[in-house]
Structure 1
Amino acid sequence: MKSAFAAIALACAATASFAQDKVTFLTSWYAQAEHGGYYQAVANGIYKKHGLDVTVKMGGPQVNAVQLVAAGQADFMMGKDFQVLAGLEQGVPMVTVGAIFQKEPQGMVTHPDVNSLADLKDKTILVATSGRSTWWPWLKLKYGFKDEQTRPYTSNMQPFFADKGLAQQGFPSSEPFTAEKAGQKVKFFLFADDGYPPYGNTIVTLQKTVKDKPEMVQRFVRATLEGWKSYMENPAAGNALIKQDNPKMDDEMLAYAHRKMKEMKFFDGGDAARLGAGVMTDARWKTTYDFMVSSGQLKPNPNWQQAYTLQFVKDLKVLP
């Protein structure tokens, strides 16, 4: 009897030491397939298995994710390399702890007569405000494009459909889907395929969180990667939660986006195929930092490497 009580006590102690940490994760936009692994980790109990009680909250045009994380209203956010490097310069001590996508999914939608990004030199390009401080300077440096050839992008594809002289920004899972549904033939060029350096869909938190709760951060990173691996294998559970948060997402749109992510190997391509999902490298981050400095988007910063840490992904080996 005594040994039975001892076993129960040990089990209780183990549970207490691995209590469910409450964690809030903020996505970058309304719920969609590009957020699927986070939702999958909730739906399939993967976060719970790692002692985490995770709430996934949607971002959107009115949500300032950096501000919310800095204020302690969210523990982690889905971020971008440029955003974190620029945040450091502005005194916001954020740090990237993993990269879900080995490529940034931003690209260009063109009409069928365009054969490469270089062909856009004489085209009018629709660029959103956010693009002017991220990928547009890269295109200008690489291909000699000019600001004069741009017009604002308004998330409406009708101007593009009506004018064969236009090209516009887009994501492989979104604008090409809209074009296909409208019966329009288009091409899509992923910037990463031409050397655009940032990672995509990164896990970002505060440096203080990494310092004070490294074990919790490690569990969150591992569980998230397991969620993404599960989502890429069978997205049904994650998609059900995505549709709850964002009823505008239908099965056809989610299936299209999931297929594109697999085709383009965002999660399991590049270094992830060899070193494990979520992996980042010093060399890749340096390329991004050097580009931001050379394009005038950042001042030289001797502490720029505080923008990321490899400690949570280097030995995980969650192979896709």
Structure 2
Amino acid sequence: MRSHLHSASVRASERMRTWSFFGCMLLVFASGCSQRTEVTSGDTADDSIRDVSVQLNWYPEVEHGGVYQSVADGTYESMGLNVEIQPGGRATPVAPELAMGRSQFAITNADDVVLFRAQGADVVAVMAAVQDHPRCILVRADSGVESLDDLSGMTLQRQAGRAFLAFLEKRGYLKDVRQVPYHNSIAAMVTDPKIAVQAYSVAEPLIAEQQGLEVRTLMVSELGWNPYSSVLVTTGDMIRESPEVVREMVEGTVAGWNQYLTSPEEANEAILDANKHGMTEEALRFGAEQMIPLAMPSGKNAEVGTMSSVRWQELVDQMIELELVDTDSVKAEDCFTTEFLTPAE
């Protein structure tokens, strides 16, 4: 059985593989062969129950806690939804799954939404569970690195091509930093204090601790690169054709996240059962604790799921500046909508 270290560590590597597939799928969409999204009635005595599917962007983990919570405690069902969760993994084609109608919803990151739209997919964010992105650089406490300004002379293990790297390079944080491939492990840090590793703050710090390392977690979000994470997305067609289903899904997911951030045990049990790739109960407990300040950075009275036009515009502008998308290829206002975050009048 693979360890949770492997599951968390290869996250960025495997997601990168989706882009070549997505590019091929765009040829299909352009030829007019895409399928319409359909929401069907469930095979129950209550015809008001509707079947929908949500595609995850990775193996089930704490980043999907709110969705698992609302399935486990019956919140979605109480709102008339029979929600099937499709676990992700290696090369999960999030945008094609939505565009082809095999899933009506998905979980992804805000920068991926911008990339999807720039490449022609009508993907729209409808709520964002995690306000501060968990992306970090992990260094040993005895490395001499106190902040990301101190990385000069270090060797960074990373997956090339990720947007956060382009940001760090553009801002000069990786000057005189030797960049090498990420080996899906923090093992090199055990023997070399000059090794830094890309990481998620909800996972790798615990793994380091379990290996006897005292580490420092340097959050990339504190530098200004902070796309929303654990974003619930759907398609423009779904919003236009089944707005009531979108509203119920958003409200149910917000409720799930509120409960998960308070008491994650039930959802973690479901995640543990669904993740067959070395996930542990201890890792889920740690991750859920780390999620609280990321999802509610302004405190426990914060409204979970909120999004702002300022944040989306800043992200689009940054990605244009970093030459990750072309100017005018995507508009911030098309990337998201907040109309389902408040009850209908």
Give the TM interval when normalised to the shorter protein: 0.7 to 0.9
Q: Is the 8 A contact 2:66 2:254 kept in 1?
A: yes
Higher helix proportion: 1
2:138 is matched by which residue type in structure 1? V
Q: Is the 8 A contact 1:133 1:297 kept in 2?
A: no
Task: Identify the residue that residue 124 of structure 1 maps to in structure 2.
Answer: 155
State the aligned residue count: 295
1:190–1:144: structure 2 CA closer, same or farther, 3 Å change rule? closer
Q: Is the 8 A contact 1:109 1:169 kept in 2?
A: yes
* 2:339 counterpart of 1:311: yes
**Residue 215 (structure 2) aligned to one of 166, 176, 186:** 186
| Counterparts of residues 130-279 of structure 1 (less than 5 Å) | 132-146=161-175, 149-247=178-276, 248-262=278-292, 265-270=293-298, 273-274=301-302, 276-279=303-306
Kindly provide the CA deviation profile for residues 152-189 of structure 1, in whole angstroms up to 9, marking residues without a partner as x.
Answer: 11211112222211111101121111111111111101
Task: Identify the residue that residue 20 of structure 1 maps to in structure 2.
Answer: 49
1:258 is matched by which residue type in structure 2? A
1:60–1:82: structure 2 CA closer, same or farther, 3 Å change rule? same
Matched residues in 2 for 1:192 and 1:294: separation?
17
Task: Identify the residue that residue 284 of structure 1 maps to in structure 2.
Answer: 311
Relative to the length of structure 1, the TM-score reads: 0.87
Kindly provide the CA deviation profile for residues 77-96 of structure 1, in whole angstroms up to 9, marking residues without a partner as x.
Answer: 11111211111121111111
Q: Where does the alignment leave 5 or more consecutive residues of structure 2 unmatched?
A: 1-45
| Counterparts of residues 72-111 of structure 1 (less than 5 Å) | 72-111=101-140
* 2:298 counterpart of 1:298: no
* 2:156 counterpart of 1:115: no
Q: Where does the alignment leave 5 or more consecutive residues of structure 1 unmatched?
A: 1-14
* 2:52 counterpart of 1:36: no
1:31–1:64: structure 2 CA closer, same or farther, 3 Å change rule? same
Matched residues in 2 for 1:147 and 1:116: separation?
15
- Output the aligned Cα RMSD: 2.0
1:271 Cα shift? 9.4
Matched residues in 1 for 2:281 and 2:115: separation?
37
Relative to the length of structure 2, the TM-score reads: 0.81
Q: Is the 8 A contact 1:177 1:253 kept in 2?
A: yes
Task: Identify the residue that residue 97 of structure 2 maps to in structure 1.
Answer: 68
1:144–1:187: structure 2 CA closer, same or farther, 3 Å change rule? closer
Matched residues in 1 for 2:156 and 2:330: separation?
35
Q: Which has the larger radius of gyration?
A: 1
1:148 Cα shift? 6.8
Matched residues in 2 for 1:134 and 1:56: separation?
27
1:273 Cα shift? 4.6
Worse-superposed segment, 211-220 or 187-196: 187-196
